[in-house]
Amino acid sequence: MHHPAWVLAPLALVAVLGFSATTKLGRGETLRSIIRNLQLPEWVLPLALARAIPGIELVLALFLLAPGRWLFTAASVATLGLMLAYWALIARGLTLTPRPQCGCFGQAGDQSISGRTLARNTLLVAAAVATVALAASGRTVWSLWDAGDAGDLLWLTLAACACLLTWLVVARRQPTPAERSTPSVEGWRSSPTERRPAATGGSDLGDDLDYERVPIPTLVLHDPTSGPATLAELASERAQLLVFVNCYCVSTQVVASNVAAWRARLPAIDIRVVFSVPYDASRLVDPVEAPLLDHAALAWFGLGLVQSPAAVLCGADGLLAAGPVNGHDAVMGLLDDIEAELADASAPTEV
């Protein structure tokens, strides 16, 4: 444990903990929803602890850089405990259907729970174990900093592991071509007499990605005020942007807090939040007006959705106008595309 290459393990943890803390600042309270999503008792993460998690991660990151041996040792052991807890939560999430979002890094990175997520957290546990071993040897980051040869195999191996860990933490899953679909303006009008063909030529964003419009799938959602309805029935008078969520963690809280602003931004269409998990308004920091319910996540699976939030735009002509798209960034991009397409459609045509 005297080789300077071992310094990469605690430094990788410092970077991960600091990154994680900054993405969770101000959202610690919503982390409790992760425990509910994983069907665990709430005493696993008390409210006070949930609020303190971003601060705890930041303090651990700072203490892992402490020159004092005992402070470094305490931070190493605490970090190992935290990483083991995160690993157990991810492993628990892999046993559930549908799988919730992990929320380990706030809104950053790919939040879907998969084998890749477990691999990422396994590397974090391994880094924490190496850090504890380093502390047990009586060394700290600073005591190893100026020793050894930077060109040997151990340096290269641990540096490669650190790079892999960084990629697993920060990278998002790349969307498939279907998930990158660009909306068509056709079918957005509120009645058949107002419908117009999609734009042609270079102004049509759909030209580049060749979005093929298909009939709206025969899937049923439940409106608490009016009962069950197919997606096509919901969109029979006005186009419907359906934003699906399958958990109550950070991503869902962000959707709930922003949906009113999205509706004001796009008054030409209806924007509805669809819950593919049992609906419980008490889990939301901001209430959602007129939610739709997806019993047993049948619509979620029927549309082939893979990451929450997800969205699909149902046209008033019975055809899909855009999507499905998966993930927070893709949903925000779809909102931007819809706004741009509607602006182009309403612009006066030059004669």
The sheet with strand 320-326 has its strands ordered as 227-230, 220-223, 292-293, 270-275, 240-245, 310-314, 320-326
Question: What pLDDT score was predicted for residue 75?
Answer: 94
Answer whether 319's CB lies under 8 Å from 213's CB. yes
Tell whether 163 and 289 lie within a shared domain.
Answer: no
Q: What angle do CA 43, 48, 49 make, to 5 degrees?
A: 70
Q: Is residue 176 part of a domain?
A: no
Residue 22: name the closest of 54, 61, 46 by CA.
54
Of all residues in the chain, the percent with pLDDT exceeding 90 is 25
Does residue 201 have a pLDDT over 50?
Answer: no
What token pair was written down for 185? 């303006």
Tell whether 26 and 138 lie within a shared domain.
Answer: yes
Helix (H) or strand (E) holding 222: strand 220-223
pLDDT top residue among 110 and 205: 110
Tell whether 35 and 68 lie within a shared domain.
Answer: yes
Per-residue pLDDT band at 4 (split at 50, 70, 90): low
Q: Is residue 154 part of a domain?
A: yes
pLDDT top residue among 67 and 181: 67
Does residue 125 have a pLDDT over 50?
Answer: yes
What does the alpha-carbon distance between residue 5 and residue 47 come to, in Å, rounded to a whole number? 39
Mean pLDDT for the stretch of residues 324-334 = 86
- Provide the number of structural domains found in the chain: 2
Question: What pLDDT score was predicted for residue 126?
Answer: 92
Per-residue pLDDT band at 232 (split at 50, 70, 90): very high
Q: Is residue 77 part of a domain?
A: yes
Mean pLDDT for the stretch of residues 137-150 = 68
Residue 128: name the closest of 258, 10, 282 by CA.
10
Burial 80-115 (b: 16+ CB within 10 A, else e): bebbeebbebbebbeeeebbbbbbbbbebbbbbbbe
Cis peptide before 98 (omega within 30 of 0): yes
pLDDT tens string 262-278: 999 898 899 999 999 88
Residue type, 272: R
Q: Is residue 180 part of a domain?
A: no
Does residue 351 have a pLDDT over 50?
Answer: no
**Domain assignment of residue 159, given as a range:** 4-170
Q: Is residue 117 part of a domain?
A: yes
pLDDT top residue among 167 and 332: 332
Question: What pLDDT score was predicted for residue 177?
Answer: 40
The residue from 170, 203, 230 where one domain ends is 170
Q: Is residue 66 part of a domain?
A: yes
What does the alpha-carbon distance between residue 238 and residue 233 come to, in Å, rounded to a whole number? 10
Tell whether 12 and 160 lie within a shared domain.
Answer: yes
Tell whether 8 and 125 lie within a shared domain.
Answer: yes
The residue from 170, 204, 231 where one domain ends is 170
Tell whether 18 and 105 lie within a shared domain.
Answer: yes
What does the alpha-carbon distance between residue 112 and residue 108 come to, in Å, rounded to a whole number? 11
* DSSP string covering 48-69: HHHHHHHHHHHHHHHHTT-SSH
Pairing type for strands 240-245 and 270-275 reads parallel
Question: What pLDDT score was predicted for residue 289?
Answer: 87
CATH code for the domain in which residue 282 is found: 3.40.30.10
What token pair was written down for 299? 């619509």
Question: What pLDDT score was predicted for residue 163?
Answer: 61
Question: What pLDDT score was predicted for residue 18?
Answer: 84
Per-residue pLDDT band at 22 (split at 50, 70, 90): confident
Lowest average pLDDT, out of 11-20, 39-48, 71-80, 138-147, goes to 138-147
Does residue 97 have a pLDDT over 80?
Answer: no
Tell whether 155 and 86 lie within a shared domain.
Answer: yes
pLDDT tens string 31-88: 666 776 677 777 888 878 888 888 999 999 999 988 888 999 999 999 999 999 989 8
Q: Is residue 177 part of a domain?
A: no
Does residue 319 have a pLDDT over 70?
Answer: yes
Question: What pLDDT score was predicted for residue 102?
Answer: 54
Question: What pLDDT score was predicted for residue 241?
Answer: 94
Tell whether 134 and 214 lie within a shared domain.
Answer: no
Tell whether 161 and 48 lie within a shared domain.
Answer: yes
What token pair was written down for 167? 């990629």
Answer whether 331's CB lies under 8 Å from 259's CB. no
Q: Is residue 181 part of a domain?
A: no
Tell whether 149 and 220 lie within a shared domain.
Answer: no
Lowest average pLDDT, out of 125-139, 245-259, 304-318, goes to 245-259
The residue from 170, 203, 233 where one domain ends is 170
Tell whether 237 and 162 lie within a shared domain.
Answer: no
Question: What pLDDT score was predicted for residue 182?
Answer: 44
Residue 238: name the closest of 177, 290, 166 by CA.
290
How confident is the prediction for the chain on average, in pLDDT? 76
Does residue 147 have a pLDDT over 80?
Answer: no
* Residue 196 burial (10 A CB sphere; 0-12, 13-18, 19+): exposed
pTM for the model: 0.54
